[in-house]
Amino acid sequence: MLHCRSVLAKGLGELGRERVRARLTAMIRLESVTKTYRGRPALVGISAVVEKGEFVFLTGPSGAGKSTLLRLLYRAEVPDAGRVVVAGQDLSALNRREVAELRRRMGVVFQDFKLLRRRTVGENITFVLDLLGLPEREQQRRAYHALRQVGLQHRLSAFPEELSGGEQQRVAVARALVVQPELILADEPTGNLDPERSHELMAFFREANYRGTTVVVATHDVSLIAAHPARTLVLERGRLVQDQWGSP
Amino acid sequence: MRQHLWREVARQLREARGMALVAVLLLAVGGAWAMLAASFLQWGRAGLLRAASQTVVVAVLVEGANPALLQASVASRFPQAKSVALSPRELGQTLAGWAGGAAAEGLLPAAVSVTVPASQAQALGEFLRSQPAVAVVSSSQEWVDPALAGFSLALRLAGLLATILVFAFGALVVLVVRLLVLSHADEIAIMRLIGAHEEDIRAPYLVASTLLGVVGGAAGVGLALLGKFLLDPWVRLPPLPHTYFLLTLLAGGVAGALGAAVGTRSLPQEP
């Protein structure tokens, strides 16, 4: 009997430790997440865990719910049901200030770039560094370095509307990378890029991932996943239908 | 938002150029008006109060009464009083400029003019009215008091007008900020998405509007000084007190800040 108890306690201890470990290492935890728009389900009962330092593709056809899921992750939306936990924080429970603080620790590459159109490329990059309170000189140095990484250092003083779609995309990537975030969320980041630039961009994400950043890339481009195999979550009509390694 | 704040403030002011100029002018005119009106009315009031410190009471005598007897009884009762007897001839000469032919000698009675400190005016009036030799008593307080009341009312009205102008400035700032917020709605949404706090977003509007208020107040001070300089040949107003300047700058700054605070309440909200 005593032996039984000891085994049970040990087992429960292991289970508890496992749970604590999971809580400590999970960057993203989705628990039965459901989101509907005017009665139309965009996401239905999604549950998944993305560990810290993981590289994950989110794929599926148009309208599968990839962008909605990302919007939930950077708290542009709140779920109708279920929980979204990012970096240990339940996003539904955060106040405005905490949401802003969390977003400062993320780098988000938006599908439509979301560059500040009245600011130059350089100011778009330094804006996020300014929010972090970095000194001006450091901001300039980091902005130049980030733009050089994406090959746009010569467009520092240009305004977004003077750039091509691909160039704007690269500025958005530079803005996301420059803060050295814990988590990168990228929504169709290669949508406006040629194959060479796409692979170059994936190399930036990989590099950030090697440094410990968790990366989630939403894409419908299966060839991109084939060329850069990683854990892949496949969505269809708002449901998570596959969680696998490499392209579906 | 340190470096970006000032760039953004400059940008807001550039974008709101026309309306910002109108707002500044409104505040400048309001401030200058308030300062000059207050100074002018205080100057007039001070003159009236000086005049009111001594009261002149005129007693018109009945026909055949002796002014010297009345003067003697006034002097015994009111030692501080200074009385002057006005014969019908002197009264006629005094009134000749005003009344012309009507003031001809023979038609006028004799009178006694008594000057006393304002505190004794009422008692003197009552004393004179009780004298059988006196037909009519008239005191300068009868017009000084209504004039002082009129000046106080004018001062309040001038203050009210200045307050209305300051409020109009505040309302214009609200409008300008709302328009700016409306035209920047997309940028505000992006700033939030990349981690800007609410105060990071509101600060440029608040700083730009407060600056507008302070600049408007300063322009008001300049206009008031110019107005005083131009009025000097006609009215020698006392120097404008420095507290007026500070109050105008403060009122401008507060009106600007409040206007922005109200204007930024229309910021688009997040879920």
Domains of chain A, earliest start first: 25-245 (3.40.50.300)
Give the domain ranges of chain B.
2-49+146-266, 63-132
Q: Does B269 touch chain A (CB under 8 A)?
A: no
Strand partners, A55: A215
Task: Tell me how far apart the terminal alpha carbons of chain B are, to the nearest angstrom.
Answer: 24
Q: Residue A189: helix, strand or coil by DSSP?
A: coil
Q: Which positions in chain A touch B4 (Cβ < 8 Å)?
A: 123, 126-127, 130
Determine the 3-state secondary structure of A58 from DSSP.
Answer: strand
Predicted local confidence at residue B97, as pLDDT: 58
Least reliable range by pLDDT among A132-136, A184-188, B9-13, B141-145: B141-145
pLDDT, tens digit (0-9, with 9 covering 90-100), for B48-59: 777 777 888 888
Q: Are B228 and B237 in contact (CB under 8 A)?
A: yes
Q: Is the pLDDT of residue B66 over 60?
A: yes
**pLDDT at position A47, please?**
96
φ, ψ of residue B240 to 5 degrees: the values are -70, 130
Contacts of B13 in chain A (CB under 8 A): none
For residue A9, the model assigns a pLDDT of 45
**Whether A130 and B3 lie within 8 Å, measured CB to CB:** yes
Residue A81: strand pairing partners: A34
Whether B197 sits inside 8 A of A116 (CB atoms) is no
Q: What average pLDDT values come out for chain A (248 residues) when binned by 10 residues?
A: 48 50 75 94 95 95 94 95 95 93 94 91 93 91 93 94 92 94 94 85 92 94 92 95 86
Cβ neighbours of B197 in A, within 8 Å: 96-97, 100, 131
Selected residue with higher pLDDT from A138 and B162:
A138
Compute the count of residue pairs across chains A and B with CB atoms less than 8 Å apart.
65
Q: How many CB atoms are located within 10 Å of the residue A173 CB?
A: 26
Burial state string for B239-253 with b = 16 or more CB within 10 A and e = fewer than 16? ebeeebbebbbebbb
- The number of CA neighbours under 13 Å toward the Cβ of A221 is 19
User: Could B7 and A126 be called an inter-chain contact, meaning their C-beta atoms sit closer than 8 Å?
Assistant: no
Are B193 and A74 a contacting pair at CB < 8 A?
yes
3-state SS, one letter per residue, for A68-107: HHHHHHCCCCCCCEEEEEECCEEHHHCCHHHHHHHHHCEE
Q: Which residues contact A168 (CB under 8 A, 6 or more apart)?
A: A113, A115, A160, A192
Q: Between B190, B196, B270, which is nearest A114 by CB?
A: B190
Can you read off the two tokens belonging to residue B31?
């401030």
Arithmetic mean of pLDDT, B60-84: 88
CA distance A12 to A176: 41
| B89 vs A: CB within 8 A | no
B27 touches B166 (CB < 8 A): yes
pLDDT of B99 over the 60 cut: no
The highest-confidence range among A21-25, B43-47, B266-270, by mean pLDDT, is: B43-47
How many Å lie between the alpha carbon of A237 and the closest alpha carbon of chain B?
24
Which of A175, A176, A218 has the alpha carbon at shortest distance from A68?
A218
- How far apart, in Å, are the Cα atoms of A59 and each of A40, A165, A191, A241? 20, 22, 13, 10
Closest approach of B153 to chain A, Cα-based (Å): 51
Contact A181, A146 (CB under 8 A): no
- Residue B126, chain A, CB below 8 Å: the answer is no
Q: What are phi and psi of B242, to 5 degrees?
A: -65, -25
Choosing among A37, A95, A106, A116, which should be mutated to test the B contact, i.e. which has the most B CBs within 10 A?
A116
* pLDDT of res. B2: 64
- Please, which pLDDT band fits residue B36 given cuts at 50, 70 and 90? confident
Express the helix, strand and coil content of chain A in percent, nearest 5 each. Answer: 45, 25, 30
Q: How far apart are CA B226 and CA A161, in angstroms?
A: 48
Instruction: State whether B3 and A136 contact (CB < 8 Å).
Output: yes
DSSP secondary structure letters along B37-79: HHHHHHHHHHHHHHHHTEEEEEEEEPTT--HHHHHHHHHHH-T
CB atoms inside a 10 Å sphere around CB A100: 23
CB contact under 8 A, B271 and A78: yes
Average pLDDT over residues B3-20: 84
At residue A87, the pLDDT reads: 94
With a pLDDT cut of 90, the percent of chain B lying above it is 12
Contact indicator for A143, A126 with CB cutoff of 8 Å: yes
Compute the distance between CA of residue B139 and CA of residue B260 in angstroms, rounded to an integer.
Answer: 55
- Is A133 within 8 Å of B26 (Cβ atoms)? no
Show residues of chain B in contact with A77, CB under 8 Å.
Answer: 271
Residue B218 has pLDDT above 50, yes or no: yes
Residue B162 is encoded by which pair of tokens?
């200045």
Contact B196, A130 (CB under 8 A): no
Residues from chain A contacting residue B183 (CB–CB below 8 Å): none
Q: Which of B194, B199, B269 best tests the A interface by mutation, with the highest count of A CBs <10 A?
A: B194
Report CA dihedral (A33, A34, A37, A38) to the nearest 10 degrees. Answer: -150
Mind telling me how many Å the CA of B270 is from chain A's nearest CA? Answer: 7
Task: Please check whether residue B31 is in contact with residue B162, taking contact to mean a CB–CB distance below 8 angstroms.
Answer: yes
CA distance A35 to A31: 12
Provide the ipTM: 0.83
Angstrom distances, CA of residue A204 to CA of A150, A174, A217? 9, 9, 12
Structure tokens at B13: 């002011």
Residues of B in contact with A108 (CB under 8 A): 193-194
